[in-house]
Chains A and B, each alone.
Chain A
Amino acid sequence: MRMKVVLTTLVCTALASMITLASMTAPVMAAWRSYISHPMGFAFAAPGELEVAKGAYRGAVAGARATSVYRFVDDNIEYKVEVIDMTDKANDSATLLGEAAYIFQENNKLFMDAFGAVDRQYGRKLTVDLPNNGGRATAAFYFIHGRIISLIATVLPANGDYDTPEAARFIDSISFHTVRAPDNAIELPAPPK
């Protein structure tokens, strides 16, 4: 009886040690937070620390455009929301959206090109392999209120798990009905001037 108790204690201790060790060696996953932009009318969720920056976009039809970039990096996955103001050419929304999606996949190996239908907005979802083993990027493009909203999740080679569900979780978190955003959603700041 005493032997049985000793063996059980040993096995439990070993198991507990293994679980502790495994949790210590696993990468620290940041919590996902919700973000919202009331002026631009969208919300999404992402892990990691938010960085806000200005970016640039150029298309033959769109011309040169300044963009607002909301970027996160967690577990070697880059999550990026880019907003391109096209208010002055909104009447060309279908072509501008098509151009943005086309540029994203141009010269890349295309894995997926599908409808992205969210809250009565029809966009495109695409997955490509980036050149020079730069990783795999999944993106969604929408045109709403005169702006192109793009979400791009890039699984970097250091992560290596190109089928991770985290990319889809980010892409599919977009909502254009801001009433659906959680109460604790963080308001996105304007990019620096």
Chain B
Amino acid sequence: MRKLIVATLAGAALSVMAMPAQAAWKSYVNKELGFSFMAPGDVKTEVGNSRGTLAGPRQTIVYRSIEDNIEYKVTVISFIQAQAEGAALLGERQYTFQNRKKVLTDTFALVGSGKDTVYGRKIVVEQPDNKGRTTGAFYFTKGRMFVLEATVLPARSNAAAQDPDRFVESIAFALARMAPDAIELTTPELE
């Protein structure tokens, strides 16, 4: 009996050691841009670029981390001078995200409640050439577009992992409810 217990414990310990190390999820907030989210891994801040037929060329603010072969990315694009065009700009971004890809789901996404609700979309696509599966969530509020993308890379066998959902659903625009230990993100200077 004792041998059986020891063997079971040893097996459990071995299987835990064999599992990839999971980084803790942390809360992040950018009070200047007015949003918060959660992600695992080491979140880095970058400046990126995007271009749309309607949106034109834009510099973007990108917060990115990679953990256990899933890339987590938040992109913020400012359209302060074109806020009334937000519906069309957001539609264009969503359309571009899924264009020429296999769409697995495309559903409503709501953040907040009541009169403070922000309506967006959540779309899951298969990337071409077996480059993985991306879950995207798209919102436009207070003159800024927020795009959250979590891509399960091919190196990770379980494409249907739950972590992308956890990531895109962690977005919040009501900062009063943010976690008290949230890490403050910097806003890089754009040209």
A residues adjacent to B (C-beta < 8 A): 60-61, 63, 90-99, 101-102, 113-115, 117, 120-123, 142-144, 146
Contacts and interface: CB of A to CB of B under 8 A. Distances in A.
19 contacts: A60-B115, A60-B117, A61-B116, A61-B119, A91-B142, A93-B87, A93-B140, A94-B90, A95-B120, A96-B87, A97-B119, A102-B108, A102-B110, A113-B106, A120-B88, A122-B90, A122-B94, A122-B95, A146-B84
A166 to B, nearest CB: 26
A95 B95 contact: no
Interface residues on B, range: 20 to 34
Nearest to B138: A94
Contacts, number: 79
A122 B118 contact: no
A126 B119 CA distance: 16
A57 to B, nearest CB: 15
B41 interface: no
Contacts of A142: 87
A114 to B, nearest CB: 8
Nearest to B92: A122
Given A91-B143, A95-B141, A113-B106, A122 B87 contact: yes
Tell me the dominant secondary structure on chain A's binding face.
mixed
Given A94-B141, A113-B106, A122-B95, A61 B115 contact: yes
B105 to A, nearest CB: 10
A102 B53 CA distance: 26
Contacts of A93: 83-88, 140
A91 B89 CA distance: 12
Given A93-B83, A94-B87, 10 more contacts: A60-B115, A60-B117, A61-B119, A90-B84, A94-B140, A95-B140, A97-B87, A99-B119, A122-B88, A143-B88
Contacts of B110: 102
Given A98-B119, A99-B119, A91 B139 contact: no
B91 to A, nearest CB: 2
Q: What are the 9 tightest A-B residue pairs by CB atom distance, in nearest-first order?
A: A122-B91, A98-B119, A94-B140, A91-B83, A143-B87, A93-B87, A90-B84, A94-B86, A97-B87
B75 to A, nearest CB: 16
Contacts of B54: 120
A177 B139 CA distance: 27
Contacts of B142: 91
A91 B84 contact: yes
Interface of B: 53-54, 83-92, 94-95, 106-108, 110, 114-121, 139-143
B119 A117 contact: no
A96 B140 CA distance: 11
Nearest to B113: A60
A101 B90 CA distance: 15
Nearest to A63: B115
Contacts of B92: 122
A114 B95 CA distance: 10
A142 B88 CA distance: 8
Nearest to B110: A102
Which of B120, B121, B142 has the largest number of chain A CB atoms within 10 A? Answer: B121
Given A115-B94, A122-B95, A94 B119 contact: yes
B94 A94 contact: no
A119 to B, nearest CB: 10
Nearest to B140: A94
B150 to A, nearest CB: 21
A69 to B, nearest CB: 21
B80 to A, nearest CB: 10
